Amino acid sequence: MSVSVAIAPAMPDLAYLASELRVPVLAQHVDPLDAGPRTGFVPPEAVSAVGARGSLVNHSEHPLSSNDVRNVTGRLSALGLVAVVCAGDVEAASDLARYKPPYLAVEPPELIGGDRSVATARPWVISDTVAAVRTVSPATQVLCGAGIHDRRDVARALELGSRGVLVASAVTRAKSPRAAIEELLSGF
């Protein structure tokens, strides 16, 4: 089985990694503003200009209004870029699915970076999100995140209907990021 992998590095590394790596590189966030006098903001066009392939949208650490999610998702799509829209729960995921993003990741904020995986602590969040999103946008692929640490968490998320996972802390805090990535990939 092949597994698709993308990374979302810090903004200062985006252009360099997008030009050096074969895996898709995504921005961690884009803003719903046009290019111009926007110091400190990142419009989707800037992400495209540096060779990134898309962006996370609405991560719990950088939330947007529903209208801004619609705006950014549409602009990314118009640029041929991928939107990975994040939602904190089933209700938000169902609501944001109406914008038909290619990917929607459910991540309960209180489990992000923690020791308990959403796949074991709240498995219904994954299965209910999958069902809700399929009803609204059947083509949207559901991912899950929050506390995903090892192959068991990945395998359980897939059993619950997730098409993949969103991971940060398990890799960035690992003594060996490479070993952590290999462990997670073995869950597929």
Catalytic residue of the set 61, 62, 107, 110: 107
Tokens of 59: 């991560």
Sign of the torsion formed by the C-alpha atoms of 86, 131, 25 and 38 = negative
pLDDT, tens digit only, all 188 positions of the chain: 688 999 999 999 999 999 999 999 999 999 999 888 888 899 999 999 999 999 999 999 999 999 999 999 999 999 999 999 999 999 999 999 999 999 999 999 999 988 899 999 999 999 999 999 999 999 999 999 999 999 999 999 999 999 999 999 999 999 999 999 999 999 99
pLDDT score of 44: 96
pLDDT score of 37: 83
SS3 of 56, please?
strand
pLDDT score of 135: 97
**Alpha-helix residue ranges (DSSP H) falling in 32-117:** 44-49, 66-78, 90-96
Distances (CA, A) of 50 to 53, 95, 102, 171: 9, 31, 21, 25
Q: Rounded CA gap, 171 and 149, in Å? A: 8
Active site includes 107? yes
3-state helix, strand, coil in the chain (%, to 5): 45, 15, 45
Catalytic residue of the set 20, 29, 59, 62: 59
Q: First CA to last CA across the chain, in angstroms?
A: 8
Active site includes 110? no
Residue 68 CB burial class (10 angstroms; 0-12, 13-18, ≥19): middle
Q: Which domains does the chain have, with CATH numbers?
A: 11-185 (3.20.20.70)
The CB density around residue 4, as the number of other CB atoms within 10 Å, is 10
Q: What's the whole-model pTM score?
A: 0.95
